[in-house]
Structure 1
Amino acid sequence: MAPVVEESVPKEEVKDLKAKEEVKEGEKVAPEEENKVAPEEEKAAEIAPKEELVEEEKIPTEVEPKTGVAFPTKLHDGKRLKSVGMRKKSILGLGVKIYAFGIYGDNEKLKELLSSRIAGGPPTKPTKEMYDLAIDSDMGMMVRMIIVFAGLTMNMVKKNFDEGLGASIKKLTGGRKDENLINKVMGAASDNIKLTTGSVIEITRLPGFTLQTKVNDEVVSNVESELICRAYFHMYLGDDPFDKDAKEKFGKSLLPLF
């Protein structure tokens, strides 16, 4: 019988075989592989934050029906959309749509104001006292105007603004008109500012009776005057508003705050 010959295996190969068996049996993963992220997971990690950001930016809008312009229902500072409307101007005997507007206010401040100043139970419909409180108070409110008339110029805006604000001041003061005060609001706005369809003008009443004007996100004036602040919001919420439907909707938006 022929002798059995044992093949000798080099020690290095034996070590390699044992290491492979240990990995297979214990399902061990090398340290550098434990921290390795699969390409699919890397892609998911990159996409997830962007998706979350998009979700945060999704704010509902309300469309002004006569112009089709959409307004966000909430601003970054917390103000809520209370009403939308349209400013129409007679040009050569024709009623021309000039801009759509949205009126914004602080719900909590409005609620405090109404509950502290109006006695009795909640009213069933908007009252003059409710509108007067919104006009006369110094709480933050804002009107965002979005241009819809393609032929509008900055000079035309100034002229119409001065006329409207001047008429409002006359109603509140019994006939007095302060041209110098009126000119401070839009007078600093350069005539070179281009106004196209979709341009935005924002006029905000800041606490302390300061009226701030922005044109395409650029501050053009800050006028500290209780009269100017009252006269400005009187144009939208007073006895002869630019858009009666918008004024009525603003009033109705206050009723649930009681």
Structure 2
Amino acid sequence: MATTEDEIKEQKAVAMTEEEEQLKVDMKEEVVTKEEKQNGKEEEVVKEDKEEEVKMEVEPSTGVKFPVKVSDGKQLDAMGVRKKRVTLLNVTVYGFGIYGDNDKLMELLKSKFDKAPEQPTKELYETVIDSDVGLMVRLVIVFPGLTMNMVRKNFDEVLGGVLKKLNGAPEDFEVAKRLMGEATDGIKLSSGSVIEITRLPGYTLQTKVKDEVISTVESELLCRAYFHLYLGEDPFDKNAKEKFGASLLSLF
């Protein structure tokens, strides 16, 4: 039976429609593939960002982890431990990381020194201690039986000793007692609890306990006294001080 002209036209139309539908399917698949690839790339970027965010360094004697960079841009320049003698034993109280605004530290040092000293010097450390450049010490509690009252008492004692060496006035000793603010044993400290003490512009020390700001004290002498504990002549951890000094030299 012969095929009429109308039937031929109809067959061509059907074939064209099928081709168009197939083309649409192919285009959709191509779009989906591109979207999947793009999403895959975005997931990789997010993964890389997260890995960068959580990049940590470990303080070897305590196993405490410290981020190499904190949210405000300060960088980890040294790590160490604070030990205290208790009944003939040296007890590790906390691990600590010293963070600095390294760009500002570099500007400070280059304005004070023509060239880098061969070794970290007393003058180098004192330049940083006496300055207003941003520094932060992050303390991560290791000793499980620590209380806020014990922390406050310890800081009152050690800061009092440094203030005495710096010829502090009686009112400076009262200011030092405000470093731990109104924090009481109501704030529970367990192994892994974090305390951050930061030097802010205007010679201001801000104390955070478990992400809660408990005090903000403006005192140039108190700022100097506090960082003497870590960078002065009789630091809590000499190795940490030396590492910080090496970090300063690398900024030149």
Q: Return the TM-score normalized by structure 1.
A: 0.86
Query: For residue 15 of structure 2, what is the amino acid of its counterpart?
Result: E
2:77 maps to 82
Query: Any unmatched runs of 5+ in structure 1?
Result: none
Query: For residue 209 of structure 1, what is the amino acid of its counterpart?
Result: Y
Matched, 1:218 2:216: no
Query: For residue 233 of structure 1, what is the amino acid of its counterpart?
Result: F
Query: For residue 58 of structure 1, what is the amino acid of its counterpart?
Result: E
Q: Return the TM-score normalized by structure 2.
A: 0.87
Matched, 1:116 2:129: no
Q: Do 1:166 and 1:177's aligned partners in 2 also have CA atoms closer than 8 Å? A: no
2:239 maps to 245
Q: Do 1:170 and 1:177's aligned partners in 2 also have CA atoms closer than 8 Å? A: no
Q: Do 1:123 and 1:255's aligned partners in 2 also have CA atoms closer than 8 Å? A: yes
1:52 maps to 45
| Structure 1 stretch displaced more, 233-242 or 52-61 | 52-61
1:93 maps to 88
Matched, 1:163 2:157: yes
User: Structure 2 matches for 1:9-158, cutoff 5 A?
Assistant: 15=10, 17-22=11-16, 29-30=23-24, 34-35=27-28, 46=39, 48-59=41-52, 60-119=55-114, 121-158=115-152
| Structure 1 stretch displaced more, 181-190 or 104-113 | 181-190
Identical pairs, percent: 54
Structure 1 position 111, deviation (Å): 1.1
Instruction: For 2:95 and 2:124, locate their aligned partners in 1 and report how far apart those are by CA, in whole Å.
Output: 24
Q: Do 1:146 and 1:199's aligned partners in 2 also have CA atoms closer than 8 Å? A: yes
Q: 1:190 to 1:10 in 2, by over 3 A?
A: farther
Structure 1 position 166, deviation (Å): 1.4
Query: For residue 112 of structure 2, what is the amino acid of its counterpart?
Result: R
Query: For residue 56 of structure 1, what is the amino acid of its counterpart?
Result: D
Structure 1 position 35, deviation (Å): 4.8
Structure 1 position 178, deviation (Å): 3.2
Counterpart of 2:174 (choices 174, 180, 188) is 180
Partner of 2:177: helix, strand, or coil? helix
Structure 1 position 132, deviation (Å): 0.2
Larger Rg: 1
The count of residues paired between Structure 1 and Structure 2 equals: 250
Structure 1 position 173, deviation (Å): 1.5
Partner of 1:211: helix, strand, or coil? strand
Structure 1 position 43, deviation (Å): 5.5
Partner of 2:250: helix, strand, or coil? helix
Query: For residue 165 of structure 1, what is the amino acid of its counterpart?
Result: L
Partner of 2:71: helix, strand, or coil? coil
Q: CA offsets, 1:102-138, max 9 Å, x none?
A: 101112111111111124x321100000000111100
Structure 1 position 26, deviation (Å): 7.3
Instruction: For 1:38 and 1:190, locate their aligned partners in 2 and report how far apart those are by CA, in whole Å.
Output: 60
Structure 1 position 252, deviation (Å): 1.3
Matched, 1:227 2:186: no
RMSD: 2.7
Query: Any unmatched runs of 5+ in structure 2?
Result: none
Structure 1 position 18, deviation (Å): 2.1
| Structure 1 stretch displaced more, 46-55 or 137-146 | 46-55
Q: 1:244 to 1:255 in 2, by over 3 A?
A: same
| Structure 1 stretch displaced more, 154-163 or 21-30 | 21-30
